[in-house]
Amino acid sequence: MIELTEDSPLTKLVAKAPAVLLAKNKGLETVGDLFDYLPRRYLPPGQLTDLAALAPGEDVMVVAEVDHASSRSMRGRKGRLLTVVLRDAGGGRLDLTFFNAHGHEAKLRPGRKGFFAGTVGIYGGRLQLTHPDYELFDDEVKEEVAVRRYQTHQVPVYSATGKLYSFKIRRIVEHALDSVDRIREPVPVEVMAVRGLTSRADALEMVHRPGIDEDPGPGVHRLKYDEAFVLQTILAQRRKAAEADTATPRLPRLGGLLAAFDARLPFELTAGQQQVGETLTRELASERPMNRLLQGEVGSGKTVVALRAMLAVIDAGGQAALLAPTEVLAAQHYRSITSLLGDLAMGGLLGGSDVGTTVALLTGSQGALARRAALLDAASGRAGIVVGTHALIQKHVQFADLALVVVDEQHRFGVEQRDALREKGIRPPHVLVMTATPIPRTVAMTVFGDMETSTLRELPAGRSPITTHVVDADKPNWVDRTWERVAEEVGKGHQAYVVCPRIGDLGPALNTALDPALDPDLRGPVGLAADSSDEESDDWDVSPEEEGGQRELTGVHTMLRQLRANPALDGVRIGMLHGRLDAETRDETMRAFESAELDVLVATTVIEVGVDVANASVMVVVDADRFGISQLHQLRGRVGRGDVPGLCLLMTRDASATAADRLAQVAATTDGFELSRVDLMFRREGDVLGARQSGRGNSVRHLRLGRRADEQIIADARDDAFGLIASDPELTGHPDLVAAVAARLDEEQAAYLERG
Ligand code: ADP
Ligand code: MG
């Protein structure tokens, strides 16, 4: 017999075809992965089925015999329709329907017996199962064993893939459980005792092979704990390793740039800003590299806090890099930082302050000349602050003395990218990560678990409230009223955003009489750039789930046309912004909106993060049901930033209960922390953690980060893991945990390489 461990590839366990299917469709590569593939539900153990007693809508698993079968071709469709009639001992009947007879017809011969599982439907007055899962008994002996087992155990139902039905997966899992000699036990016995956990081996049996009266719950709990514990062990080790690094202490300087900046700040810092500022000053002055996450509500003033930290390191002779996820945001940061700094940003220039510095901007799409100048400024140390996109991470970008790395909107960057920037310092630089999406504690503890966190809870004084309404877009007068409201706000001198879920086609009916200066569309081949090699293209228009919609979603182009043709908006200047426009046009449009040369900006989610125009008072989100909760919250945060009350109108044509519920939740509260927790309940973790963090390896399998119960599991596992690493940093006494950690890191590495 072959020696199987949890790390063995599945090909050692099963034939190539199913192994490939499991890997490709379910991301299962090893035997351990298979163990972590949990059943979706369980069929209750049962007696031999009385077919006459079945009721429509029931999930059933019947044991029965094929009475007869027939197939016929279908009109207008490929394949043959197969109908199989089952019978039980007492003369009851049940139909099975397969829309593709292929593969089933040969097997489902009269007289064959087996398990058949599915949801009971009704067609033509007869009960039936459509495309049931089934497993035939091959001979009398097996039949008896199988039936006995059916009576003593619940039958797990796995999510099937292709021809790999739940039954087959179940058999593979059972085979794996029986073939692996020793199931790993990553959790130390003391911890198991304290937390009241079952062993991992028992947990796997409970989950995959629960007995007739057994509750798989404790098994699932144990697997969740396992996942959390291994993750937290990795984080604890990371933290430990970071503590061993030494950074150059950056001591505050009296009468320096920071002092000059503070002196001319047009507002008072909030108590929170002050407090976080003190923490940062202290950590920057330390030999231990700072590794801190700064989170806070949209508009809570994180950027000012980060800028003050940057100025502090410049005062100490170092440089700061600010990494932004998109070009729009990088350009925006560059503009707002230079404007906040005023003449302090004209270091070395005539008319500049004598304590000033230089701010450089480095992005992928800028011209060669500007780029070379920025590179030179960074390398020579002339630039105290270098703002940029991913372009900053590239190898040839060098700094004279990089002291602080600030990462904005971290959820769009992977840990690896953070590390790449960190390597650009002479010694490890201090790192400050800012996120504008408030992060629930569960996510903070997992994704950012190796960092310390600071939170800005209050908004700067004088912030105006935002009102949110859901607009039923199927009611024409509601829609009219929406655009009237936009017109009213514009009439009062304010501005509006209209966000659409997609860019859409240009459309044939575009009015060529439009002012080409304001319509970037008319300048070049839109659409050609859709798959351009722009390194950031996948960050653009990170749009809501595209798939699954039957309705045509409203595109930016269509909306622009409609609004320009809308008499209510006569004379209103409307522009457009999306990721397929070239960088120059995007920049120009943003500038035009910032300087109020445009009244309304029709855009995709490119404006989701960080865009800051205090004069904007309305945010209309079209097809709002297609956006995630956090995304809507982000979008809403674009208004109400000045002293003008904000209005957010969520338009939807989706009357479904979930859509209504989600939108109602957004309308009900502006508490970003609460919303991001709710968001986690509605969406898959990977989506919330951001595209770059999702996929195999980086997401969680068992934990549900939106659940309060799971928050406790993570917190417990965190205590246990950090405690363990404190007493046994190398885990010398815990070989199984070392193996589990290695398996997890391997996966993350593989996922990283796949993403490229
Ligand atoms: P965040 O990055 O957290 O979304 P910003 O730093 O961009 O928030 O701040 C939003 C706006 O509030 C900016 O225009 C900023 O200048 C302003 N601001 C920041 N701090 C204060 C404060 N303490 N008082 C008044 N306005 C502030
Ligand atoms: Mg910001």
Q: What are the extents of the domains in the chain?
A: 45-153, 183-245+715-756, 257-456, 466-670
Distance CA 324, CA 264 (A): 26
Q: What are phi and psi of 633, to 5 degrees?
A: -65, -40
Q: Is the CB of 332 under 6 A from ligand 1?
A: no
Cα R_g (the chain), whole angstroms:
30
* Mutational test site, ligand 1, from 293, 304, 335, max ligand atoms within 8 Å of CB: 304
Q: Could you write out the DSSP letters of every residue in 707-737?
A: -HHHHHHHHHHHHHHHHHHHH-TT-TT-HHH
Is 80 exceeded by the pLDDT of residue 668? yes
Mean pLDDT of 142-165: 76
Listed in sequence order, the residues at least 6 apart from 492 whose beta carbon sits closer than 8 Å to its beta carbon are: 617
According to DSSP, the residues that pair with 618 across neighbouring strands are 496, 647
Sheet strands (E) in 300-451: 319-323, 358-362, 383-388, 402-408, 430-435
Q: Are 353 and 260 in contact (CB under 8 A)?
A: yes
Is 90 exceeded by the pLDDT of residue 544? no
Q: How far does the centroid of ligand 1 lie from the alpha carbon of residue 302, in Å?
A: 7
In the chain, what percentage of residues exceed pLDDT 70? 85
Please report which confidence band the pLDDT of residue 153 belongs to, taking 50, 70 and 90 as the band edges: confident
Structure tokens at 251: 């001591």
Q: What is the pLDDT of residue 323?
A: 92
Q: What is the pLDDT of residue 755?
A: 53
CA distances, 678 to each of 43, 354, 694, 707 (Å): 30, 50, 19, 9
pLDDT in tens, 92-116: 899 999 988 888 989 999 988 888 8
Q: What is the pLDDT of residue 57?
A: 83
Provide the CB-side half-sphere exposure for 631 (13 A, CA).
Answer: 28
Q: Is the CB of 612 under 6 A from ligand 1?
A: yes
Lowest mean pLDDT among 80-94, 304-318, 453-467: 453-467
According to DSSP, the residues that pair with 119 across neighbouring strands are 59
Please report which confidence band the pLDDT of residue 78 belongs to, taking 50, 70 and 90 as the band edges: confident
Q: Is the CB of 435 under 6 A from ligand 1?
A: no
Q: Provide the total of helices (H) and of strands (E) in the chain, helices listed first.
A: 23, 21
Question: What atom of ligand 1 comes closest to residue 610's alpha carbon?
Answer: 4
Is 90 exceeded by the pLDDT of residue 568? yes
Q: What is the pLDDT of residue 424?
A: 82
* Mutational test site, ligand 1, from 275, 303, 594, max ligand atoms within 8 Å of CB: 303
Q: How far does the centroid of ligand 1 lie from the alpha carbon of residue 389, in Å?
A: 21
Please report which confidence band the pLDDT of residue 704 belongs to, taking 50, 70 and 90 as the band edges: confident
Its pTM stands at: 0.69
Same CATH topology for 257-456 and 466-670: the answer is: yes
Phi-psi region of 328 (alpha: psi -120 to 50; beta: other; left: phi over 0): alpha
Q: What is the pLDDT of residue 411?
A: 56
Q: What is the pLDDT of residue 543?
A: 37
Residue 195 burial by Cβ neighbours in a 10 Å radius (0-12, 13-18, 19+): middle
Question: What atom of ligand 1 comes closest to residue 269's alpha carbon?
Answer: 23
Ligand at shortest distance from the CA of 307: 1
Fold of 257-456: Rossmann fold (3.40.50)
In the chain, what percentage of residues exceed pLDDT 90? 45
Q: How far does the centroid of ligand 1 lie from the alpha carbon of residue 285, in Å?
A: 25
CA distances, 290 to each of 37, 65, 101, 377, 673 (Å): 38, 69, 63, 25, 25
Query: What's the chain's length in residues?
Result: 756
Amino acid at 606: V
Is 60 exceeded by the pLDDT of residue 635? yes
Please report which confidence band the pLDDT of residue 687 belongs to, taking 50, 70 and 90 as the band edges: very low
Fold of 45-153: OB fold (Dihydrolipoamide Acetyltransferase, E2P) (2.40.50)
pLDDT in tens, 617-629: 999 999 999 988 8
Fold of 466-670: Rossmann fold (3.40.50)
